[in-house]
Amino acid sequence: MEMEHGYRGPAGGGAEGGFDCEEAIHTLYTFLDGELTLERRLDIQRHLEECSPCLEAFDFEAELKIVIARKCRDSVPPSLLDRVSRALADASGPGVGSEDPGGMSTL
C-alpha cells in the first residue's frame, strides 16, 4: 500500500460521511448551541471519534459551554463568568501575569 504525500489534515480527505475537519469545527459551534438536527449531531460525533484534533477542540469548547450553561442556571455571580472569560483570554495569550502591572486599582 502506498500513502499519498498530499496529506492534508488528520482525517485525510476520505471522510465517509462527507464530513471533514473544517466542516466539523464550523458545525461544532452550532452543535454546542443545540441548534442542530439529530442527524447532524451524529455526523459530528462520528467525525470526532475518528479525529482527535477535532475531538480535543470540541472537548474544550463543549466543557466550557456546558459548565457555563449549568452555572448560569444556578444563577452564578457574573464575577465568575468574568473570571472564566479572563482565564480564556489568558490561556490564548502569551502573557501569564493576571495581576495589575500598572497599578490601576479598580474599586
Q: Give residues in contact with Zn ion (CB under 5 A).
A: 11, 21, 24, 51, 54
Nearest residue to 10 (alpha-carbon basis) of 21, 25, 26 = 21
Rounded least distance, CB 60 to Zn ion, Å: 14
Q: How big is the CA angle at 52 (ends 46 and 57), to the nearest 5 degrees?
A: 95
Q: How far is the CB of 81 from Zn ion (least distance, A)?
A: 29
Q: Please, which residue, 10 or 88, has the CB nearer to Zn ion?
A: 10
Q: Nearest distance from residue 64's CB to Zn ion, in Å?
A: 19
Distance separating alpha carbons of residues 89 and 83, to the nearest angstrom: 10
Q: Which is nearer to Zn ion, 61 or 68 (CB)?
A: 61
Query: Is 23 or 64 the residue whose CB approaches Zn ion more closely?
Result: 23
Task: Give which of 15, 10, 45, 20 is closest to 31, Cα–Cα.
Answer: 45
